[in-house]
Structure 1
Amino acid sequence: MSDDDRTIEELRDAALTAIAGAGSLEDLKQVRLEHAGDRSPLALANRSIGSMPAAERKSAGQRIGAARKAVSTELAARTEALEIEAEARMLVDEAVDVTLAYDRDPVGARHPVTTLDERIADVFVAMGWEVAEGPQVEAEWLNFDALNLGPDHPARTLQDTFWVAPSSDAKVLRTHTSPVQARAMLTREPPLYVVSPGRVFRTDELDATHTPVFHQVEGLAVDEGITMGHLKGTLDHFARSIFGAVSVTRFRPSYFPFTEPSAEFDLRCFVCDDEPDARATCRTCRGEGWIEWGGCGVVNPRVLVACGVDPKRYTGFAFGMGIDRSLMVRHGVADIRDLFDGDVRFPRPFGIEV
């Protein structure tokens, strides 16, 4: 073997050793520049062929070409191997551990007052009723006068009502959602079946059973031939839809300015079902067998006249109850303040019911 052959072989072997020793694609890039680049020893040797005697050029070209081919082949093989290794490391380094605890961030929940509000609306929409809404800052006439609450009625005093300044505007924070019913009668022709859930305001002290801001749902039906029987059937269906199939209501005579006759209505306890043995230890109804739920009655003719409805042709019934109280009874919530304290732990057990 001539000295030239030995030199070419040494250059080739040095390049192959460097390629095999490259531990990364970046290292291999540097090796490529040093042993296969335009300024590498083998590239310079290839350029020197032109200055050789003609008789030696063919042999030199074959030797140098074979060496460069061997280096190029090894570079390609090593590049492929390092790319596979890099991808394998990437899969490990960038892997997502899907076994991590799912509850590291607290799961959100809808507020139960909202979900019960919507469930109640769904019950009446399924019966063909319409959901009606109105403003929370309401005209005094709609909140009181249109509902047969005269100027001297005690509900108008500061003991019950938030008045909005200036007093000359005659505006209040609505004390019930009944003004929505008045608006419905003033703007629509009977037959009329509307349910009006919403937020209301009264100057009550905040305690375990009272709050100055709470939620009501009221219903109004105005049509020809409406009776107390229709009211009773509606409330029984409503009770079964919210509290279960065994629930029924009962009426107790009462007085409301906007209905005549009027009644308080109670819900038969859906836990003990008014059975004597179970009733004695029932915590839901406290042994009464019945749970006070709301007020109702036949719409007073004066209210119909004030709202432009002919009382000789049409009659109607109305009812109202607290959504917050219904929620407390339905789920055994002892303190109404728990509903509105803003503790994110409270609604979590109720989930994201829709």
Structure 2
Amino acid sequence: MSLNDRLKELRENGINDAKRAQHLQDLNDLRVQLLGKKGPITQALRGMKDVPKEQRPEIGTLANNVKKDIQTAIESRIEEVNKRIIAQKLQEETLDVTLPAQSHEVGTKHILNQTIEDIEQFFIGLGYEVAPGYEVEEDHYNFERLNIPKDHPARDMQDTFYITNELLMRTQTSAQEGRDMDAHDFSKGPLKMISPGIVYRRDDDDATHSHQFHQLEGLVVDKNISMADLKGTLEALCRHVFGPDREIRFRPSFFPFTEPSVEVDVSCFNCGGEGCRICKYTGWIEVLGAGLTHPNVLEMSGIDSNVYSAFAFGLGPERFAMLKYGIDDIRDFYTNDVRFLEQFKGVN
């Protein structure tokens, strides 16, 4: 058989084999078998040396056309097989769009986040700025700028996580006060800020204590600030959080950074002041500490304490949430028990 006839036979057989193939793998194998370097067309062309020179261009053209025809037949069949596969998948994977959709549980903000944001919005409405501050803080701002030098006994009241001699995990969000007073331009008006965030102390974990908890510090610096301003602010806050009928009272206390210092009680929201188990039958519940900012704290920020005065207060969002919602174990906030957390969807 002449080379010309062999090439024509290869084209006919190759096209027929492509048309009969049912699987993509068969077509890929056929491509390699017929058109590869070791395929029959390549082998046939090796006999070109025996073809007269005047016939070689014709045979070369025929060989190229045979390759193209077989390649076209294979590609055409691949497209047909792919269409068949897709049609089969569509048939097998048909969805019934009339079926009801699967429901998904919708989450909610953690009750502590809800409590903090509620208090934040209250103070933002009064013109306060929110300054979260740094969880890793300098000893200088955490203690010394709050009128607590290194040898002050008040440091013993807070067992602290130190990173270095000068860096620590902050024990109170009050540390942000010094930074804000340093940065504030009093020619533009008073300083009114709150600083919410996480604080750390080496407390034993029990029903009412945790080594990590939240705090929210507040500070107002202006001319002629008095205890009356502090009381009015905290009374409005307690009524906002615990209800419109709440009353507050001040009791003398001690904090190095305020003078005078007070503990603040709110009339029991459960019994209305009559006395019950929650308030230990006193009619009052302790909720926060506060006072007029010590002149030394102002002076360390370059603020003339003869011209300016200030008040500060600090509260625990965990305690506020526990009192408001009747939660008796602080650890419930951190165990991620969905049964506990889902009770407080959108409560504020």
Please report the TM-score for the alignment, with normalisation by the length of structure 2. 0.69
- Give distance in 2, aligned partners of 1:273 and 1:286: 13
Q: CA deviation at 1:231?
A: 0.3
* Residues 212-266 of structure 1, C-alpha deviations (whole Å, 9 max, x = no match): 1000111101000000000000000000111110112100011110000111111
For 1:148 and 1:332, how far apart are their aligned partners in 2?
36
Aligned match of 1:175: 171
Percent identity, aligned pairs only, is 44
Q: 2:295 is matched with which residue? A: 301
Kept in 2, the 8 Å contact 1:155–1:161? The answer is: no
1:98 corresponds in structure 2 to 100
- Structure 1 residue runs of 5 or longer lacking an equivalent are 1-88
Asked if the contact 1:113–1:323 (Cα under 8 Å) also holds between the matched residues in 2, the reply is yes
* Mapped partners of 1:339, 1:256: distance in 2: 28
What code does the residue aligned with 2:127 have? G
Please tell me the residue identity of whatever aligns with 1:228: M
**In the alignment, is the contact (CA less than 8 A) between 2:208 and 2:330 conserved in 1?**
yes
Distance 1:303 1:93, change over 3 A: closer
Report if the CA contact (8 A) 1:108-1:352 is conserved. no
CA contact (8 A) 2:158 2:171 kept: no
- Indicate the residue corresponding to 2:285 in structure 1: 291
> How is 1:1-354 mapped onto 2 (pairs within 5 angstroms)?
94-98=96-100, 102=103, 105-156=104-155, 160-164=159-163, 166-167=164-165, 170-190=166-186, 191-275=190-274, 279=275, 282-352=276-346
* CA distance in structure 2 between the partners assigned to 1:304 and 1:93 by the alignment: 70
The structure with the largest alpha-carbon Rg is 1
Q: Within 2, Cα distance between the matches of 1:137 and 1:95?
A: 54
CA distance in 2, matches of 1:245, 1:228: 21
Structure 2 contact 222–310 (Cα < 8 Å) conserved? yes
Contact 1:247 1:267 in 2 (8 A): yes
How far apart are the structure 1 equivalents of 2:168 and 2:177?
17
Distance (Å, rounded) in 1 between the aligned partners of 2:158 and 2:192: 32
Contact (CA 8 Å) 1:143, 1:178: kept in 2 or not?
yes
Local SS of the residue matching 2:151: coil
Structure 2 residues not aligned, in runs of 5+: 1-90
CA RMSD of the aligned region, Å? 2.1
Task: Give the ranges of 4+ consecutive aligned residues of structure 1 lying more than 2 Å apart after TM superposition.
Answer: 95-100, 153-159
Number of equivalent positions: 254
TM value normalised by structure 1: 0.68
CA separation of 1:269 and 1:152: change in aligned 2, threshold 3 A: same
Say which SS state the counterpart of residue 346 (structure 1) adopts: helix
Letter in 2 for 1:179: A
